[in-house]
Amino acid sequence: MQDPKAEIDAWLARFEAALAEGGDAAAALFADDGYWRDLLAFTWTIHTLEGRPAIAAMLSERAADVGASNWVSEDGATRGANGTAEGLIRFETAQGAGRGHVRIQDGRALTLLTTLQSLKGFEEKRGPTRDRGVEHGVRQGRKSWLERRQQEEASLGHSVQPYCLIIGGGQGGIGLGARLKRLGVPTLIIDKRDKPGDTWRSRYKSLCLHDPVWYNHLPYLPFPDHWPVFIPKDQIGDWLEAYAKVMELNYWGATEALSATYDEAKAEWTVEVRRGGEVIVLKPKQVVIATGMSGFPQLPDFPGMADFKGEQHHSSGHRGGEGYAGKSCVVIGSNNSAHDIAADLWENGADVTMVQRSSTLVVKSETLMEFTWGRLFSEQALAAGITTDKADILMASMPYGMLPKVQKPVYELIQKRDADLYDRLRARGFMLDFGEDGTGLGLKYLRRGSGYYIDVGASELIANGSVKLKSGVAVTAIEADGVRLDDGSLLAADLIVYATGYGPMSQWVEKLVSKDAADKVGPIWGLGSGTTRDPGPWAGELRAMWKPTGQPGLWLHGGNLQQSRHYSSYLALQLKARMEGLPTPVYQAPVPR
């Protein structure tokens, strides 16, 4: 059998030649149901083309302008289980350098990923091209680094307007800010909290990242290699604060965005913010909402809530289980936060009952490591030469449309692997699911499906009865001394925690800009899979994230730490290209008839 790298190189040579012939010729090198996922390189957006006709249509419009050439494979190509030749690739376009991945079977591509990595003439200064910092010699009026930094901080947002305003200073906002800083884009980050990391510091003390450390690095600056696999919330909070300082970000803490209005003629925003009791007007060209993938805390409206004599709050306001020893606590909900808070209360000596109103996906964190994350993000992966950047590309190489076929057998194995835990949970009455179509956590997260829990210990408390469970019930009312359920029972409560989730991210757009702008943006997140909470039509990509939206000058950034890290690169390149006046024609697929 041919060496997989040689097979990929041969396909790339045919592909480069076919691009010069036209869209149909290049599309013929794909399988009938092949996928091409493009992150900016050809489409100047985040777009997946499914099938030869879609690929041919895009190329007939974009191939000549893109001018892609010099396609080569990287070392490390492999042969997949089904005989596919798989490997990373590099190429160039008229505008920049690209990287990607291809899977080839029987001479045709099953999947192709192309990503834009840099812009020609506007590359990041790094390594041998880094700034000198200080010119040696003697010169009058020379300013130190500190003086230059102080001048920049004092002027930006006042005498000098930022080109980009990022609203939200968590891991997503500061990671994007770091990329824009490296690209020379004047950027201001604002957040209602005082310091980066305060969102993490304000949560209950037992909170930690459920994803492993290798998965969660921020751009440019990986966590130290002695850090724990699952980072505690105060440690990540300190890291975010230090990161913003080390990366020289312009960050206004304790600053609230009040309103934003877009001037179509000037292609400019007017954003009013309140900082230190003063209302300041900013005039950025681009606004990025980086407040996460969700909207506002979603409190239920149960009858009688105002009459409850104890304490009650949304899970976002839970500060810890201290002080609840011996008290009756009810957690309404069964997602990650509900499990974490139930465990936190139990550890502090409370009598805890979880109210599970709908089924929940549960998967052990260590099992996810073995079957999913660990193949790309682990010490073993690093030892095999899979760096974080390489892992991000490999992860992005799988089109969302292929995930159900790939994920379903994985979760069948997971159910067998952890059958004992699942059997004991069911025996307690816990309602389990593994995604609406058996495809597990990844697609449920992408679809904004019902609850899931990455198990870091709370499931055992439920399985052994330490945390009590009421499942398959609905709350009919909150009474003065507890929670009334539709089976007639009353759960006595000194504390009620509503782990009832968050609204959609569109709430931020509507509050900051207008209902009209939110309507222009349309649905945010989700793939349009046609499953519960993810209505169609099929989008093929996460809707409105990290790419142009229906509202000019408005961008959305969020997701988990891995998504924030990886996709911030493409968002930053789009903003840089627009600042420099480069052509950025956004490809729009023809509307099916």
Residue 445 has pLDDT above 90, yes or no: no
For residues 583-593, give the mean pLDDT: 80
pLDDT tens across 322-369, in order? Answer: 999 999 999 999 999 999 999 999 999 999 999 999 999 999 999 998
Residue 591 banded pLDDT, cuts 50, 70, 90: low
Check whether 124 has a pLDDT greater than 50: yes
Residue 16 DSSP code: H
Distances (CA, A) of 90 to 86, 97, 127, 578: 13, 8, 20, 24
Model pLDDT, residue 224: 96
3-state secondary structure of 304: coil
pLDDT (average), residues 369-398: 94
pLDDT bucket at 427, cuts 50 / 70 / 90: very high
Q: Tell me: pLDDT of 135 over 80.
A: no
Counting Cα atoms < 13 Å in the Cβ hemisphere of 62 gives 25
- Which tens digit of pLDDT belongs to each residue from 528-579? 998 888 889 999 999 999 999 999 999 999 999 999 999 999 999 999 999 9
302 closest CA partner among 139, 150, 486, 146? 486
User: Other CB atoms closer than 10 Å to residue 62's CB: what's the count?
Assistant: 18
Region class of 512: left (phi > 0), else alpha (psi between -120 and 50), else beta: alpha
Find the mean pLDDT for residues 391-407: 95
| pLDDT at residue 450 greater than cutoff 70 | no
Does residue 134 register a pLDDT over 80?
no
**Tokens 């690093």 map to which residue?**
382
Mean pLDDT, range 44-71, rounded to an integer: 97
Question: What is the C-alpha separation between 336 and 270, in angstroms, rounded?
Answer: 38
DSSP E strand stretches across 486-551: 490-492, 495-498, 502-504
Q: Which amino acid is at 471?
A: S
CA-based nearest residue to 336, from 439, 261, 245, 441: 441
**In the chain, count of helices (H) and strands (E)?**
18, 27
Q: Tell me: domain 298-502, CATH 3.30.70.360, correct?
A: no
Cα dihedral 113/118/124/127 (nearest 10): 60
> What's the CATH number of domain 152-295+503-579, 3.50.50.60, 3.40.50.10210, 3.40.50.80, 1.10.340.30?
3.50.50.60
Is the predicted pLDDT of residue 593 greater than 50, yes or no? no
- Interhelix angle 561-579/171-182, nearest 10 degrees: 40
Higher pLDDT pick, 272 / 447: 272
Rounded-to-integer distance, Cα 383 and Cα 390, Å:
13
pLDDT value at position 202? 86
The residues spanned by each domain of the chain are: 4-119, 152-295+503-579, 298-502
**β pairing state of 294-297 and 311-314:** unpaired
- The mean-pLDDT minimum among 16-30, 413-427, 432-446 falls in 432-446
pLDDT > 90: percent of the chain: 87
Band (pLDDT 50/70/90 cuts) for residue 449 is low
Average pLDDT, the chain: 94
Q: Does the structure show a pLDDT above 90 at 38?
A: yes
Would you state the pLDDT for residue 284? 98
Same CATH topology for 4-119 and 298-502: the answer is no
pLDDT band of residue 180 (cuts 50, 70, 90) is very high
pLDDT score, position 205? 81
> Average pLDDT of 30-50?
98
Greater confidence, 225 or 590?
225
Q: Does the pLDDT at position 189 exceed 60?
A: yes
Assigned CATH for 4-119: 3.10.450.50
Give the tens place of pLDDT for each residue, 474-520: 999 999 999 999 999 999 999 999 999 999 999 999 999 999 999 99
Answer whether residue 390 shows pLDDT above 60: yes
pLDDT range class, residue 91, cuts 50, 70, 90? very high
